[in-house]
Each structure stands twice: as structure tokens, then as C-alpha cells.
């Protein structure tokens, strides 16, 4: 075994993540959204309750000022709204606009097509096992 072979799993995972996201970004480019913007929209669509900006930043994995700039752009496109929280004057909840819903359906349709292509020939059992391994690695990272 090559002396750096133990690094290949992490490098392969990083490469897979970048390539998958780049391909999805390429396929979504016609919708007029950057990768960061469509990612925010997808996270908002998946959350059961409208999050505060702080909660959304944590969910998406970006810093607060970065999210604020993304939300400024999404507001300009009339895809999200920021609503004041009565209990906390500083906090704002982020909600999707009605205009965003059909766009999110398009994003999800394109993403689903890509997933189908990428998982072609991979059994459901292999997919489940892979997700289980990833979940264990993430749990170990969270304990670190």
C-alpha cells in the first residue's frame, strides 16, 4: 500500500463533493442563481419553520455577514423576505416568497435528475451503507 493511501478517502470525498456541487451549479446556471443562493433556497425549503438569520447561517454553514449578502441578493430577486421577530428587535426570520416555490421545484427536479445519474448502478444497500459510514464519521468529528 502506498504510504499516503490513508489520505485518499478524505481527498476522494472532497473531490466528490466539489465535483457534484460544480455539476449541479452548472445545471442550475440557467435559473440565474449562484451556488450559494440556490443552497440557501433549498435549506429554507427543507426547514419546517422559518429560521432566524442566525439559525439559517448555521444550517447553511456560512458566517452571518456572508448570509446577509446572500439574502440581500435573494430579496432583490424577490425570492425571500426578512420579517422582524417581535420578541427580539435584532432578529429577523427568513421566509420564502411565493415566487420562490416554482423555482425551488425546478431546482429539486434538476437535482433529482443528477442524483439519478450519479447513483446509476449503485444498489440501495450500498447507498445506505455509504450514508451510514458518513454519519459515523460526522459523529466522530462532532465529538472531536
Return the CATH number at 117.
1.10.10.10
Q: Can you give the residue range of the structural domain that contains 93?
A: 16-143
Number of compact structural domains in the chain: 1
In a domain, 126, yes or no: yes
In a domain, 4, yes or no: no
Q: Is the pLDDT of residue 113 over 70?
A: yes
Q: What is the pLDDT of residues 20-34, one digit of tens each?
A: 989 998 998 888 888
Whole-angstrom CA distances from 120 to 107, 113, 116, 127, 129 are 20, 11, 6, 11, 16
Q: Is the pLDDT of residue 80 over 80?
A: yes
What does the pLDDT average to over 100-113? 93
Which of 38, 48, 60 lies closest to 95, judged by CA?
Answer: 48
What does the pLDDT average to over 83-91? 87
Amino acid at each position: 500500500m502506498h504510504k499516503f493511501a490513508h489520505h485518499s478517502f478524505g481527498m476522494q470525498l472532497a473531490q466528490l463533493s466539489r465535483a457534484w456541487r460544480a455539476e449541479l451549479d452548472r445545471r442550475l446556471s440557467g435559473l440565474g442563481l449562484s451556488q450559494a443562493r440556490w443552497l440557501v433556497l433549498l435549506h429554507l425549503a427543507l426547514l419546517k419553520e422559518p429560521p432566524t438569520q442566525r439559525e439559517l447561517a448555521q444550517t447553511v454553514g456560512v458566517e452571518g455577514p456572508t448570509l446577509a449578502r446572500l439574502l440581500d441578493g435573494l430579496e432583490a430577486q424577490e425570492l425571500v423576505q426578512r420579517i422582524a421577530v417581535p420578541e427580539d428587535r435584532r432578529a429577523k426570520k427568513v421566509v420564502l416568497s411565493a415566487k420562490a416555490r416554482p423555482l425551488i421545484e425546478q431546482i429539486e427536479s434538476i437535482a433529482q435528475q443528477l442524483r439519478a445519474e450519479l447513483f446509476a448502478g449503485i444498489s440501495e444497500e450500498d447507498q445506505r451503507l455509504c450514508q451510514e459510514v458518513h454519519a459515523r464519521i460526522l459523529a466522530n468529528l462532532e465529538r472531536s
